[in-house]
A and B are shown apart, each in its own frame.
Chain A
Amino acid sequence: MGDSQYSFSLTTFSPSGKLVQIEYALMAVGSGQTSLGIKAANGVVIATEKKLPSILVDEASVQKIQPLTTNIGVVYSGMGPDFRVLVRKSRKQAQQYFRLYKEQIPVTQLVRETAAVMQEFTQSGGVRPFGVSLLVAGFDDDGPQLYQVDPSGSYFSWKASAMGKNVSNAKTFLEKRYTDDMELDDAVHTAILTLKEGFEGQISGKNIEIGIIGTDRNFRVLTPAEIDDYLAEVE
């Protein structure tokens, strides 16, 4: 990783005790497209805006929500290419765990290992921190779980959270709307309404992406048609 001239860490402490590179990474996240996640009683939903730079872009080829295993999915806010690298590494770690134990990796363990990777890049030579925050949604033996992982490598479990451009409004909206006994369908509706709050332009199945996981423990991304159905229910 880097040649010998850059074997020192580029992420260094400021006099006030902050790691400025991480602060800047968080700013990169904060200027990324809004994404959010909600943990329901019987599942988890994650969603994000999918605003493409031009109408000529083939929106079906852009997949912002990705599965990490059959029962864990992830969405991000921030830099897309950094996200792809993390998805690749996490998938490999999940499969290595399976190869060793013949058991699906628990959500907490995968989140821990992904966070460890992100932390490595704040303390290694010649690299910069990742410019993404992840929202990891999964369903395992401990039930539905939602975790946020930051560029610093810290992770938190959330009942509902948002990241990206509209984060403060979205979080306030979620705080008002969230209930502990929400069902998965209600959570999807709430997620859509939250995205709608800060959405510029007409919301449709083609410019948002939603991923859900329920008691069937199968993470899947909704098709644009399914999203349009939910949108119709919300109106």
Chain B
Amino acid sequence: MSIFEYNGSALIAMVGKNCFAIASDRRLGVQLQTIATDFQRIYKIHDKLYIGLSGLATDAQTLYQRLFFRHKLYQLREERDMKPETFANLVSAILYEKRFGPYFCQPVIAGLGDDDKPFICTMDSIGAKELAKDFVVAGTASESLYGACESMYKPDMVCSIFSCTYIYKHKVLDIFGPFTKPLHPSNPTEKRKKFMASYICKPTKCRLDLTNY
């Protein structure tokens, strides 16, 4: 089993109309054993910038702490928040610093840039950036997620949380309890739902759950 699959993770970020959504699963495992079902993978850097970290959990936590530290210093020195594009470049540089002993993480970065334009990107564990206009995925379930996104994505969806979560429920088999943050410029809200894997195969139940939002 590869080191990236040790803890298990699934992350997705999607762009909608003047908004974005970033979602992750909440399972922390040690190979096949589930240790926790409330593990946080998405972190807030500032009001308009979130980062999700998939891969080895310890590296994800440490990397988040380092990035938060760097952003805090930047905020104090420059008296402003970092733009998502700038932050993505910083993450890329920090990952490449460890080129020959990397962090076993794949970040997914999502934020609102200038004029609240949504920005998403992902990168590999040594900092190769992948910008996208529509969606990005990362983690052990990435292949399933790619398939789901390709078939379900439409541009300019009003609140991509629905499609994001919908995709989660339907297609992804190794996730527990997604954690979705639909980010609209005026109203950044955080919604938590705890789902068990068994719900995935029951479309009716999923739709009901969505209306509870």
Q: In the complex, A112→B76 CA distance in Å? A: 13
Find chain B residues with CB under 8 A from A100 CB. Answer: 89-90, 93
> Per a CB cutoff under 8 Å, which of A102, A108, A109 touches B89?
A102
Establish whether residues B83 and A109, one from each chain, have CB atoms under 8 Å apart when the complex forms.
no
- A114 CB to closest chain B CB (Å) equals 14
Q: In the complex, A109→B89 CA distance in Å? A: 18
Residue of B nearest to A103 (CB): B86
Residue of A nearest to B89 (CB): A102
- Residue B78, interface by CB 8 Å: yes
- B74 CB to closest chain A CB (Å) equals 8
- A157 CB to closest chain B CB (Å) equals 14
Interface of B is mostly: helix
Q: Report the interface size class on chain A.
A: under 10
Find chain A residues with CB under 8 A from B85 CB. Answer: 102-103
Q: In the complex, A103→B78 CA distance in Å? A: 13
- B82 CB to closest chain A CB (Å) equals 8
Establish whether residues A101 and B86, one from each chain, have CB atoms under 8 Å apart when the complex forms.
yes
Interface residues of B, count at CB 8 A: 9
For window 145-161 of A, CB contacts with B under 8 Å fall at: none
Establish whether residues A101 and B89, one from each chain, have CB atoms under 8 Å apart when the complex forms.
yes
Q: In the complex, A102→B90 CA distance in Å? A: 8
- Residue B202, interface by CB 8 Å: no
For window 69-88 of B, CB contacts with A under 8 Å fall at: 77-78, 82-83, 85-86
Establish whether residues B86 and A102, one from each chain, have CB atoms under 8 Å apart when the complex forms.
yes
Q: In the complex, A108→B78 CA distance in Å? A: 8
Contact code string B75-113 (vs A, CB < 8 Å = 1, else 0): 001100011011001100100000000000000000000
Q: In the complex, A153→B86 CA distance in Å? A: 29
Find chain B residues with CB under 8 A from A101 CB. Answer: 82, 86, 89-90
Q: In the complex, A103→B74 CA distance in Å? A: 13
For window 127-178 of A, CB contacts with B under 8 Å fall at: none
Establish whether residues B78 and A109, one from each chain, have CB atoms under 8 Å apart when the complex forms.
yes
Residue of B nearest to A105 (CB): B78
- A147 CB to closest chain B CB (Å) equals 16
Establish whether residues A103 and B83, one from each chain, have CB atoms under 8 Å apart when the complex forms.
yes
Find chain B residues with CB under 8 A from A109 CB. Answer: 77-78
- Residue A99, interface by CB 8 Å: yes
- Residue A125, interface by CB 8 Å: no
Find chain B residues with CB under 8 A from A99 CB. Answer: 93
Residue of B nearest to A113 (CB): B77
Ranked nearest first, the 3 interchain pairs of A and B with the lowest CB-CB distance are: A102-B89, A101-B86, A103-B86
B contact residues vs A (CB 8 Å cutoff): 77-78, 82-83, 85-86, 89-90, 93
